[in-house]
Amino acid sequence: MSNNRKTKTATASAKGSGTSFRQSRDTKKDKYYFLNSLAGIVKALEGKYTIVDLRNDSCVTGKIVQVHGRMNIEMEDVVYYDSKGNEYVFSSFFLSERNIRYVHIPKRTSSTKLIKKQLRTVFFKPKTQKQKKTFKGKRAENYNEKILQEAYAKK
């Protein structure tokens, strides 16, 4: 790193709205965007360190904390490099989707694995509890067992 590194302790954001976008769930609209755009790949990079190139020829390096449906990105442990080569350190950073030019996928990461991971997280719904069998289900199981026993008895 160069000697002109400056440290900042405040949170940087693209518009300075002052609101936190950390939510535990994604909305239906966010899921739609993740499945129908490349934002899903960036979403799968959550928790990993990467480089994001911005439209004004600057770049940001850090850990992706959260990605929203329209590809707004929250990062932490960030180093911001402006177009003149100056470095600024931030503890957290918010990138608006309109300022992003490229998101670099780390070298050891497969893009197809990222897509599969994202699809699994969107479509996988963990079972909360075991379903009780209904009368119809029990009757069907008994009927299937009876048919199998008759089939094996004939042999």
* Residue 112, pLDDT score: 87
pLDDT at 15 over 80: no
What is the reported pTM?
0.62
Q: Which CATH class is domain 5-129?
A: mainly beta
Of all residues in the chain, the percent with pLDDT exceeding 70 is: 77
Q: What is the pLDDT of residues 96-106, one digit of tens each?
A: 999 999 999 99
**How far is residue 109 from each of residues 1, 65, 75, 78, measured CA to CA in Å?**
25, 17, 19, 20
**What does the alpha-carbon distance between residue 91 and residue 31 come to, in Å, rounded to a whole number?**
28
CB 92 within 8 A of CB 14: no
Sheet-wide strand order for 87-95: 5-7, 87-95, 73-81, 59-67, 49-54, 100-103
